[in-house]
């Protein structure tokens, strides 16, 4: 038996005996978020920039150092699950986990058991983060729902009352919109993404903030309203996650709740559903 897999077997035994920790990794276009779970409890988390040119060795040293600063040892992590919207970077993190943590991670993708029928054409085209969010939201709400994720893109995903992933919407994210405005309009400055005092801007900065922040909230409410009319589920819940969820949700009339750790919790749920192996259809 190869050395790495022999150690993995030992780690699995340790996991059963002392409930060692799970490393959940959400690899996005802008940031990568890590969550450390002991059982169902998120005990530590950290966020780093997603840099596609970094090597597995560079990320290995970085992650080990971050764990050390959180008073965690690398050998306390006995399992991992990775969801990546950047395929090349996801592969880098998988190599890092194999080399530095001697873990063969669960990877969110085709063939993974999700417990959720994917009614999308073709199913393989759905971003793994969207599936993870949908699984977590339905597990929590046990109802038809719309998940709004404020990331590099702002995505809207609809889950049926039977727990089916029906599809959704992909729109430019808030930061992407702000950067486009700054780079394409010569006289407009780069502004902080924050709520201005009023919708009616009395200066350029406030006018831009109003258009970006209140405009994004209006976009969310408008698209959610259209989705609700189209699917006609009653009740249908609306939950938000992602980096700008806490900024936009209070301005929205449709978002009911915010869970900034929804994606990490979804990864934990999927890991538990696939602990015995990775067989089965998505």
**Which are the catalytic amino acids?**
129
Question: C-alpha distances in angstroms, 251 versus 45, 136, 149, 211?
Answer: 27, 24, 15, 13
Question: C-alpha distances in angstroms, 178 versus 84, 189, 208, 209, 249?
Answer: 24, 10, 9, 9, 18
Element of type H or E holding 98: helix 87-100
Query: Minimal CA–CA distance to 263: which of 108, 103, 134?
Result: 134
Cβ-contact 48, 31 below 8 angstroms: yes
Query: Can you read off the two tokens belonging to residue 2?
Result: 């190869």
Cβ-contact 16, 78 below 8 angstroms: no
């Amino acid at each position: 038996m190869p050395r790495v897999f022999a150690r993995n077997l030992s780690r699995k035994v340790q996991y059963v005996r002392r409930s060692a920790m799970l490393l959940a990794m959400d690899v996005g276009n802008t940031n990568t978020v890590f969550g450390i779970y002991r059982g169902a409890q998120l005990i530590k988390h950290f966020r780093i920039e997603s840099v596609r040119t970094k090597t597995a060795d560079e990320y290995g040293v970085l992650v080990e150092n971050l764990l050390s600063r959180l008073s965690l040892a690398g050998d306390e992590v006995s399992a991992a699950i990775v969801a990546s919207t950047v395929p090349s970077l996801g592969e880098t993190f998988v190599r890092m986990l194999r080399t530095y943590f001697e873990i063969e991670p669960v990877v969110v993708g085709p063939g993974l058991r999700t417990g959720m029928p994917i009614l999308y054409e073709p199913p393989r085209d759905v971003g793994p983060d969207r599936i993870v969010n949908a699984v977590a939201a339905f597990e929590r709400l046990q109802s038809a729902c719309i998940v709004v994720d404020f990331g590099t893109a702002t995505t809207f995903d609809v889950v049926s009352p039977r727990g089916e992933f029906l599809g959704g919407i992909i729109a430019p994210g808030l930061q992407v919109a702000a950067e486009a405005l700054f780079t394409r309009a010569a006289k407009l400055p780069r502004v902080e993404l924050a709520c201005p005092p009023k919708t009616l801007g009395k200066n350029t900065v406030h006018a831009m903030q109003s258009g970006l922040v209140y405009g994004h909230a209006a976009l969310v409410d408008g698209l959610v309203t259209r989705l609700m009319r189209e699917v006609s589920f009653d009740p249908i819940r609306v939950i938000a996650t992602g980096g700008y969820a806490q900024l936009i949700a209070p301005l929205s009339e449709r978002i009911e709740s915010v869970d900034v750790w929804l994606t990490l919790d979804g990864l934990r749920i999927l890991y538990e559903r696939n602990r015995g192996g990775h067989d089965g259809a998505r």
